[in-house]
Structure 1
Amino acid sequence: MDTLGIHDDTAILSSESKSKINEEQRKTQFSKGVDIHDSLQSTTETTPGRSLSITQMTAEYQASVDFLSHETLGESSLQLSEENQNGLDLGSDNFTVNLKAKGLQEFPKDILKIKYIKYLYLDENLIKSFEGTDLGDLLGLEILSLQDNGLSSLPPEIQLLLNLRILNVSHNQISHIPKEISHLENIRQLFLNNNYIENFPSGLESLINLETLDLGKNKLSYIPDTLSSLKNLSTLNLEYNKLTMLPKILCFLPKLISLNLTGNLVSSLPKEIRGLKILEKLLLDHNKLIFLPVEIFQLFKIQELQLADNKLEVISHKIENFRKLRILMLDQNLLQEIPENISHCVMLECLSLSDNKLTKLPKNIHKLKNLRKFHINRNNIVRIPEDIAYLNNMFSLGFSGNIITDVPIEIKNCREITKVELDYNKIAYFPVGLCALEHLYYLSINGNYISEIPVDISFSKQLLHLEIKENKLLIFSEHLCSLIKLQYLDLSKNQIRKIPSSISKMISLHILILRCNKFETFPIEVCALTNLQVLDISENQIQKIPSEICNLKGIQKLNISSNQFIYFPIELCQLQSLEELNISQTNGRKLTRLPQELSNMTQLKGLDISNNAIREIPRSIGELRSLVSLNAYNNQINSLPPSFLSLNKLQQLNLSGNNLTALPTGIHNLSSLKDINFDDNPLLRPPMEICKGKQLYTIACYLQRADERDEKILEKIFKIVANNITEANFQFLCQKLNLVISETDMSTKSTVSLSERVQQALDRWKMDSNNLSSTALRDQLTRALTMIGAYEIMDKITALKLFTCALKF
């Protein structure tokens, strides 16, 4: 487990790198203006005093998913736009109420009577029903959004909202839609996704003006033939249901533009699919398709076709009919080849063929002049053809997980490329053609056989992210030091032993990963990287940390696990900016102690000291006020210091595999603690069965009750001693307990009974020892009684112990 999260570099990229990434994302959207849905969403100025037209309504409400590639598509449910939820300028007679995320537990009845409302947003509340709501107060309502509440049903009175055009009750617990919904004749967009609907709602067939219907992520297994009456339906989402076939009736919706059946159990498509003459988007990822009917290739207007994660073995040569296709996703199938005439799909911008059985690229692929994103990862591709140079609009190229031995120099002509992934191939020489790509900012070439970095890398001045892990590098090349804009560098799992002093030129470097190399001493040259924020030098043979590490003024995450430290490097305690430290020794030399100076790292949020031989936690641990996560499993820790209970921000604690026999009663004070693990400890207080549930409340309750019981037992022991001890033994007991008998005690000896004097003395002893628990006091007292030979009293105390142990607790 990567407790430091050091491979997640996105959080600390500079503004320059973010602008490059944003540029790539803009390119990824593939000229959105082509999508008819996006054209409908252009903002139109609303004339005061007039109702919104359907086009304007669609502009306010995001009626369809962004027309993106598979990797950037995200969740395909259709949601309200932020602009509309914040309230638009809708004219003098229009009124919007936005009560999003206000903690409402019921429908706000009172506010509805204030003014004539057209647009009502109650998303992300706790509303469970319409109980007590008079929907007659909302007759003018045009948009009602109750997304992400606790609704289990809609009331029949929903039929009163005759002017309703948009209804969003997605992300609720609805299992049934009333048939009265059929009266909403003006409704254009209906969002019922992410509910528990098992049967297709009766009454929907009457909504003849419906344009968008979202029933995604429900439990539907059947679509009725009556759906064909929805002649105006243009967008239909049925993703992640239980459909085993594409219902033929869907093929008779004349205006359908977008159809989403992702995540069902569809094994075949009907030949009637050819009837969807104007279909532009068809999503069938994660189904059971084994072939495509030839009729699908009559969808001449298709622009986006997603068929990832099916069982397709062949794609017909008739794919050439898709002259308007822009996005084609065929990942995770069983394809062994792609037909050559895919080159006729000249509008194609995104082609993803990863995780198939392809051995070569289709001929004439260079004719796809508009191709911008081409991923063919994890196949059996042997070579990249030279004519790839003609794809001069390409910006993202993925060939990871193949058996490629080299990259043609001609790739330098793909001048727009910004991102290249060539991981886990058989490349022996660094592809110098990539060094000529002036826009390349991300290069990953892990898991190859590269042993040398060419001088050409010096020309890649624009590189921000470079990964060359799991190769055959023997040295940290000085040529890398010319990359003054580089922010992320991963050279882990090579055979590097030292770092050149010229690394100081890499002034932009934020993340440096040198894990699992051949370092025997800490590379002091790294300490010159004053902007370094993350350093991973784990799984090496380092024994000491130089004092110069204090020069890393901005270091936030440090992983030095699995090395050969003789003792905890106290030099680390100088790092005031450090937030996460991993010194776990799974494969390294075990540490036996932690220094008290650890408390100097006041910004520390995550500490991993697991898999060592540490016997105790420093007394000053409580000064780490920012600590959120502590992993100390597989050590020899036998107790927790009192200051441990001061870690008020601690959320995650793993102390499994230690020698703990008791937990402190005050552990309930760690109010932020959510994730705990005390497994594999010889715990007696509380016993292990109490801790197995990993619930702090249960543990705290047990400890509180145990304290109350121990207090009562101690009081009974005091009474046994007071009622049975002799004068002579009392004197000896006071000596053993270091109890001083004052002159006042001596003067009252003749007037106060022995039992009263003993009780008073023991109470005073208890008060003076308030830092000890009742159990500790009891043990100390019984030892003293044994030493003075008060065996009769000990017999009575033993009987009391046996009795209390026999009681169920």
Structure 2
Amino acid sequence: MSRLKGVAGRDPRAGFRAERGDCGASVPQGLLKAARKSGQLNLSGRNLSEDCSLDHCEMALYMSKIGHELIIVKLPQCVWRINVDIPEEANQNLSFSATERWWEQTDLTKLIISNNKLQSLTDDLRLLPALTVLDIHDNQLTSLPSAIRELENLQKLNVSHNKLKILPEEITNLRNLKGLYLQHNELTCIPEGFEQLSNLEDLDLSNNRLTSVPASFSSLSSLVRLNLSSNQLKSLPAEISGMKRLKHLDCNSNLLETIPSELASMESLELLYLQRNKLHFLPEFPSCKLLKELHLGENQIEMLGAEHLKHLNSILVLDLRDNKLKSVPDEITLLQSLERLDLSNNDISSLPCSLGKLHLKFLALEGNPLRTIRREIINKGTQEVLKYLRSKIKDDGPTQSDSVTETAMTLPSESRVNVHAIITLKILDYSNKQTTLIPDEVFDAVKSNIVTSVNFSKNQLCEIPKRIVELKEMVSDVNLSFNKLSFISLELCMLQKLTFLDLRNNFLNSLPEEMESLIRLQTINLSFNRFKILPEVLYRIPTLETILISNNQVGSVDPQQMKTMENLITLDLQNNDLLQIPPELGNCVNLRTLLLDGNPFRVPRAAILMKGTAAILEYLRDRIPT
């Protein structure tokens, strides 16, 4: 009570200056001093929502009482007046060195006040006319002040994750604006005159309540990236094709039943996201020669024809999962640049053998009623499926080896070994036997035959059979999943032609350093083990393209080492113990698939994760400290 009485009894003419600093406990003097020199002030997550001392009278002016908690809901005046008022230390007649002359201060150009509890901004915003970056994301703003029109130098404005229902018309005065981030608000419409933002390059309106996009958007001729995902759009204006520089268009999670044919004339378009809509037909893209990624998952598309594929000369990623496709045309071979094809959860019963001619790095087929490819081949991964399809191109009919009965080739001691698979498919298969060791007769059955794949999955193995080293000159795929392995023996590390290694569902918590000798390894599956960190040796295998390490206890990854893995395109870290995702992971721009669901971190939020890898990486890059 004595503190509050002291506050009430002060002379109101004394202004806002506190006895021990002009901003009280919320903004350290050191930060203000540094900001006057650098022109940058970062007050992100300054614990402004925590209980603060009332030793300084100005704190009472910026707090409102909610239960027993004192929440700062307005920005202290000293922030707005940083370039106007004389610093507190100057009033104390302190001497200044040549590097600390307050009168030579730099105008504030970058202000970050994100991750607080701010409910409003005042018109004092106009006191910072030199601002080029204003970041206010993750607050509780319901409106923006009209004075924002006076920030004529502003180039980046981030007001995402607030509670905005409307935008002030004055925002259209920001003619130098290049990046405008309004995602995760409650916007239902766009103000008139928005097209005046002619320098805008990046516009994010995702996760709002928009039901339409103004045709005037076509005047945003500088726009490179437009995110309209997670709204209530039922259509797109044909005029959208007027955005001649647009490279990235995200319309995921809307109510689109069709898209305008004019969209196909957007020559600069590289990334198009149309997932989770109500599309029945796959559009044609005759002019989109640069299109690299087309995401059409979770729609109602029933047919994929040659006319849909013939213009996609540059396509790298084609996502058609969760649709109603019944077949894949032979013309799929037109997509010679294609690296990732997702056909999972459709109604496809057979695949054209010509698919094997593509140089795919990732092919998803789960959830289809496929009858022409055995499940065990699909489970072995992309390269094995492609190899199988290629072999079918050559096989017009049954081969001579197919006509040889297994009994004629099998000695009594080899009765449990599938010699037919060894001869025709080059697979040494001794899986699902629930055995604790692999009998010698299994390796003896190989004889002089060439074996490229080994499948010892679904047994009770506690160690890798030592005789596997006998196959080191030929084996490329090894499946040891669903066993009881607690360590990896050095024999496995000698398989220098190994490209695919499946170790999921074991008891592993580490990998030997000798695994770096696997200089051709492309895919490793470590899911459902006991790893607490991503094994260090993996960072030193430069050929790795896919790391699957979900459902472990991984608590951290090293983004700096990860960045050196230039071939890594898939990283599955789902269902681990990651408390935070390092922002520097966003620099791993080669990643096409980054899966992070099921971890206890708070950011990125689930809404960001749903938008896919590109959005996650961009979000992380934006959070890298400058």
Give distance in 2, aligned partners of 1:299 and 1:579.
63
Matched, 1:462 2:337: yes
Q: 2:74 is aligned with what amino acid? A: Y
Give distance in 2, aligned partners of 1:347 and 1:222.
35
Question: Cα–Cα, structure 1 residues 581 and 272, in superposed 2: closer, same or farther, change >3 Å?
Answer: farther
Match for 2:367 among 493, 498, 501?
493
Matched, 1:387 2:262: yes
Give distance in 2, aligned partners of 1:309 and 1:498.
46
Question: Cα–Cα, structure 1 residues 268 and 475, in superposed 2: closer, same or farther, change >3 Å?
Answer: same
What residue number does 2:460 align with? 594
Match for 1:609 among 467, 479, 482?
482
Deviation at 1:630, TM superposition (A): 8.1
Matched, 1:375 2:375: no
Question: Cα–Cα, structure 1 residues 334 and 248, in superposed 2: closer, same or farther, change >3 Å?
Answer: same
Match for 2:240 among 365, 372, 375?
365
Deviation at 1:331, TM superposition (A): 0.8
What residue number does 1:227 align with? 79
| Aligned partners of 2:45 and 2:113 also within 8 Å | no
Q: 2:78 is aligned with what amino acid? A: T
Q: 1:422 is aligned with what amino acid? A: L
What residue number does 1:427 align with? 301
Matched, 1:307 2:195: no
| Aligned partners of 1:550 and 1:571 also within 8 Å | no
| Aligned partners of 1:261 and 1:283 also within 8 Å | yes
1:442-461 equivalences under 5 Å are 442-461=317-336
What residue number does 2:156 align with? 281
SS at match of 2:134: strand
Match for 1:243 among 91, 97, 118?
118
Q: 1:236 is aligned with what amino acid? A: L
What residue number does 1:293 align with? 168
Give distance in 1, aligned partners of 2:190 and 2:328.
41
Give distance in 2, aligned partners of 1:424 and 1:648.
41
Question: Cα–Cα, structure 1 residues 553 and 226, in superposed 2: closer, same or farther, change >3 Å?
Answer: farther
Deviation at 1:239, TM superposition (A): 1.7
Deviation at 1:304, TM superposition (A): 0.9
1:659-678 equivalences under 5 Å are none
Question: Cα–Cα, structure 1 residues 407 and 181, in superposed 2: closer, same or farther, change >3 Å?
Answer: closer
Deviations 1:664-717 (A, max 9, x none): xxxxxxxxxx969xxxxxxxxxxxxxxxxxxxxxxxxxxxxxxxxxxxxxxxxx
Give distance in 2, aligned partners of 1:407 and 1:310.
31
Q: 1:440 is aligned with what amino acid? A: I
Q: 1:594 is aligned with what amino acid? A: Q
1:341-356 equivalences under 5 Å are 341-356=216-231
What residue number does 2:206 align with? 331
Deviation at 1:266, TM superposition (A): 1.4
Deviation at 1:470, TM superposition (A): 0.9
| Aligned partners of 2:223 and 2:246 also within 8 Å | yes
Question: Cα–Cα, structure 1 residues 431 and 220, in superposed 2: closer, same or farther, change >3 Å?
Answer: farther
Bigger CA radius of gyration: 1
What residue number does 1:439 align with? 314
| Aligned partners of 1:373 and 1:397 also within 8 Å | yes
Shifted more, 491-500 versus 267-276: the winner is 491-500
Deviation at 1:456, TM superposition (A): 1.9
TM-score (norm 2): 0.55
Match for 1:413 among 269, 287, 297?
287
SS at match of 2:124: helix
Give distance in 2, aligned partners of 1:631 and 1:438.
40
Deviation at 1:268, TM superposition (A): 1.3
1:572-651 equivalences under 5 Å are 583=458, 594-595=460-461, 598-600=464-466, 609=482, 624=489, 631=505
Deviations 1:328-348 (A, max 9, x none): 101111111111111111111
SS at match of 1:388: helix
What residue number does 2:272 align with? 397
Q: 2:364 is aligned with what amino acid? A: D
Deviation at 1:525, TM superposition (A): 3.5
Matched, 1:511 2:362: no
Give distance in 2, aligned partners of 1:570 and 1:375.
52
Give distance in 1, aligned partners of 2:152 and 2:509.
69
Question: Cα–Cα, structure 1 residues 367 and 566, in superposed 2: closer, same or farther, change >3 Å?
Answer: same
Q: 1:342 is aligned with what amino acid? A: F
Percent pairwise identity: 24
Question: Cα–Cα, structure 1 residues 598 and 181, in superposed 2: closer, same or farther, change >3 Å?
Answer: closer
| Aligned partners of 1:599 and 1:621 also within 8 Å | no
| Aligned partners of 2:322 and 2:346 also within 8 Å | yes
Give distance in 2, aligned partners of 1:425 and 1:525.
30
Give distance in 1, aligned partners of 2:73 and 2:438.
64
Question: Cα–Cα, structure 1 residues 306 and 381, in superposed 2: closer, same or farther, change >3 Å?
Answer: same
Deviations 1:99-139 (A, max 9, x none): xxxxxxxxxxxxxxxxxxxxxxxxxxxxxxxxxxxxxxxxx
Give distance in 1, aligned partners of 2:318 and 2:296.
8
| Aligned partners of 2:251 and 2:275 also within 8 Å | yes
Q: 1:285 is aligned with what amino acid? A: S
Q: 1:448 is aligned with what amino acid? A: N
Q: 1:369 is aligned with what amino acid? A: K
| Aligned partners of 1:553 and 1:577 also within 8 Å | yes
Deviation at 1:230, TM superposition (A): 3.5
Q: 1:226 is aligned with what amino acid? A: C
Give distance in 2, aligned partners of 1:296 and 1:246.
14
| Aligned partners of 1:490 and 1:512 also within 8 Å | no
Deviation at 1:313, TM superposition (A): 1.2
| Aligned partners of 1:524 and 1:546 also within 8 Å | no
Give distance in 1, aligned partners of 2:511 and 2:224.
53
SS at match of 1:389: helix
Q: 1:308 is aligned with what amino acid? A: Q
What residue number does 1:158 align with? none
Deviation at 1:528, TM superposition (A): 7.0
Deviations 1:750-776 (A, max 9, x none): xxxxxxxxxxxxxxxxxxxxxxxxxxx
TM-score (norm 1): 0.43
Give distance in 2, aligned partners of 1:349 and 1:269.
25
Deviation at 1:262, TM superposition (A): 1.3
| Aligned partners of 1:406 and 1:431 also within 8 Å | no
Give distance in 2, aligned partners of 1:383 and 1:405.
7
Give distance in 1, aligned partners of 2:427 and 2:331.
31
Question: Cα–Cα, structure 1 residues 347 and 568, in superposed 2: closer, same or farther, change >3 Å?
Answer: farther
Give distance in 1, aligned partners of 2:210 and 2:510.
60
Give distance in 2, aligned partners of 1:243 and 1:550.
71
| Aligned partners of 1:221 and 1:243 also within 8 Å | yes
| Aligned partners of 1:421 and 1:445 also within 8 Å | yes
Name structure 1 gaps, 5 residues minimum: 1-174, 204-218, 504-508, 515-522, 530-543, 584-592, 611-616, 634-643, 655-673, 677-809
SS at match of 2:143: coil
Deviation at 1:646, TM superposition (A): 12
Deviation at 1:407, TM superposition (A): 2.4
Deviations 1:203-222 (A, max 9, x none): 9xxxxxxxxxxxxxxx9643
Give distance in 2, aligned partners of 1:337 and 1:470.
31
Deviation at 1:480, TM superposition (A): 1.0
Q: 1:311 is aligned with what amino acid? A: E
SS at match of 2:318: strand
1:704-743 equivalences under 5 Å are none
Deviation at 1:434, TM superposition (A): 3.1
Deviation at 1:465, TM superposition (A): 1.0
What residue number does 2:132 align with? 257
SS at match of 1:413: coil
